[in-house]
Amino acid sequence: MIDPKDAPCKGLKVIEFATMVSGPFAGQMLCDLGAEVIKIEPATGDPMRAMHPKQNDLPAFFQQINRNKKSVALDLKEKEGRATALELCREADVVVENFRPGVMKRLGLGYETLAAANPGLVFASITGFGPDGPYVDRPAYDHVVQGLCGVMDDFGQYSEDKAPVPVRNFLVDKVASTTLAQGVLAALLARERNGGKGQTVSVSLLEAYAALMLPAIMINHTFQNDGAERIRKIDMYHPIRTTDGFVIGHIQTDSQFEGMCRTAGREDLIADARFKDAWSRMLNYETMWSEMEVGTSKQDIATVIVNAAKYSVPLAPVNSITDFFDDPQVQYNKTWFDIEDADYGTIRNLCYPVRFGSSQIKIEKRAPRFREHQYDILKDDG
């Protein structure tokens, strides 16, 4: 019996046929939750291993999305490699893959084949656009889906030249990963409730990103009837200047507005008709923050933040990544932590962001070297 203090997914085995970001990040989440994750890499290794910066042969970004896993290399184009993969999947609870639709089936590793030998298997796939449809054969990366979903165009509406503005991060991939991990856990729960039968779980980059980003963007497209109310685009995000940097916050209630006026030393704005209620402030958001900046630009960040806390104003400094690491709340939470590795020295990690009442998450292993666990898992050093 599993101890309640063990990691929630302890005892589960995950076979990961995934490279780059979306599949591996999902695998890492399951690994953080206690599952054993065996990463099946191609004979040339996950392409992310070629990225820099590196410590010896371990790339930094590869470390951030593959920690705790075990690495095995198999050539799935060869009969022997496929046979080995099939044998590993017979004992697995979950398979995670992010090949293009149909590739696993052509390799003889599709869900029907694997489930015939392992009926309880949860077969989880990440695709670019879905398992079928007019774009099924198109390659997809983060940037492609950002352009397709209308988000870049919307962000660009706030810029002076109206040029599209991307999110400069692998957000699409990581959203799809998070969504897939959620789906896998739901499928495992369903397995417990329906006599141990597994099923497929499929997430597309397109739909995962749209589901996350579009609810606020599509408000003028929610009510489709003629004459439905429409509003102009409102830029709610306004960093404001201090003597030594920037702060950013959000004002929703009347008490928060009054507190922000006092924080900025602009008590004269409290009775200003332009900011009399939440909707008036929303319609004049740009002006409101410009007025606040007149006051904050004469104070340093520390003074502004202390006063904001005094008046219960939701405000924060615009930190650098180094500032983030040094932030007292971040350090108190242990949002990041270092592990010491004999081969790679000190490696900084981010915590798994869910905290449990009794279950315990313990992350203490770096990402694997290429083929590091080949012998241990396959009992074959070849």
Domain boundaries of the chain, sorted by first residue: 13-214+336-378, 240-317
| Cross-strand partners of 248 | 316
Q: What CATH number does domain 13-214+336-378 carry, 3.90.1200.10, 3.65.10.10, 3.40.50.10540, 3.40.50.2020?
A: 3.40.50.10540
CB neighbour list of residue 142: distance below 8 Å, 6 or more residues apart: 21, 170, 171, 172, 173, 205
Query: Using a CB cutoff of 8 Å and minimum separation of 24, what contacts does 77-84 make?
Result: 82/107, 82/108, 82/109, 84/378
Which of helix, strand or coil describes residue 279?
helix
The pLDDT value recorded for residue 161 is 87
The pLDDT value recorded for residue 379 is 81
Strands 36-41 and 70-73: parallel
| Cross-strand partners of 41 | 73
Distance, CA of 205 to CA of 348 (rounded, Å): 28
The residues that are catalytic are 238
Distance, CA of 116 to CA of 79 (rounded, Å): 19
Q: How many CB atoms lie within 10 A of CB 203?
A: 26
Distance, CA of 83 to CA of 107 (rounded, Å): 10
| Cross-strand partners of 70 | 38
Quick one: which of 274, 240, 277, 238 has its CA closest to 255? 277
The pLDDT value recorded for residue 233 is 86
The pLDDT value recorded for residue 1 is 64
Q: What residues of the chain score a pLDDT lower than 70?
A: 1, 380-382
Instruction: Output the six-digit token pair for 296.
Output: 């904050």
Q: How many CA atoms lie within 13 A of 77 on its CB side?
A: 3
Q: Say whether 240-317 and 13-214+336-378 share the same fold.
A: no
Q: What is the CATH number of domain 240-317?
A: 3.30.1540.10
Instruction: Output the six-digit token pair for 281.
Output: 């402030």
Q: 280-319 burial, b if ≥16 CB within 10 A, otherwise e?
A: ebeebbeebbebbbebbeebebeebbebbeeeebebebee
